Amino acid sequence: MTSDSTIKTLLITDDSRVSRMMIRSFVRAAQPNWVIVEAESGPAALENIARGAPDFCTMDINMPGMMGTEAVQLIREQYPEIRVAIFSANIQESMQLKAVELGAKFVPKPVTEKTVAQAIEFFLG
């Protein structure tokens, strides 16, 4: 079921409304058929996933309540089929290695058309 006509679902997780809006806008332009849902925190993302797992998830790192890396670890343990891209302004090598360790794609912030394209390429790869 890798057909381009297959409808995919993306969960955008970021405490910044602006970041969520930008990711949504760039994804919508590139993949107009995808269903896009949003969460403002790690716990909200986990609740959303429990109701129906998305195909893909973007995750911010620094969020109140639960770090994005912790949320990704829980997602990967419970739903290994979900492809996750970690968007973070923390571009230190240790954070990039942590993403790889979690089985996720590291994407540097700021959110741009190019960075969102990197995430989409990873999701569809």
Output the average pLDDT for the chain.
94
Residue 91: which pLDDT band, with cuts at 50, 70 and 90? confident
Q: Are 39 and 11 contacting, i.e. CB atoms less than 8 angstroms apart? A: yes
Mean pLDDT of 6-12: 93
CA distances from 38 to 22, 47, 94, 97 (A): 12, 11, 27, 26
Alpha carbons within 13 A on the beta-carbon side of 44: 15
For 73: left if phi > 0, alpha if psi spans -120 to 50, otherwise beta; the answer is alpha
Beta carbons within 10 angstroms of residue 63's beta carbon: 22
* Distance between CA atoms of residues 53 and 21, nearest Å: 21
* Distance between CA atoms of residues 81 and 123, nearest Å: 11
5-9, 19-23, 89-93, range with the lowest pLDDT = 5-9
Q: What integer pLDDT is reported at residue 5 of this predicted model?
A: 54
Please report the domains of the chain, with CATH numbers, ordered by start residue: 9-124 (3.40.50.2300)
pLDDT surpassing 90 at residue 53? yes
For 52: left if phi > 0, alpha if psi spans -120 to 50, otherwise beta; the answer is left
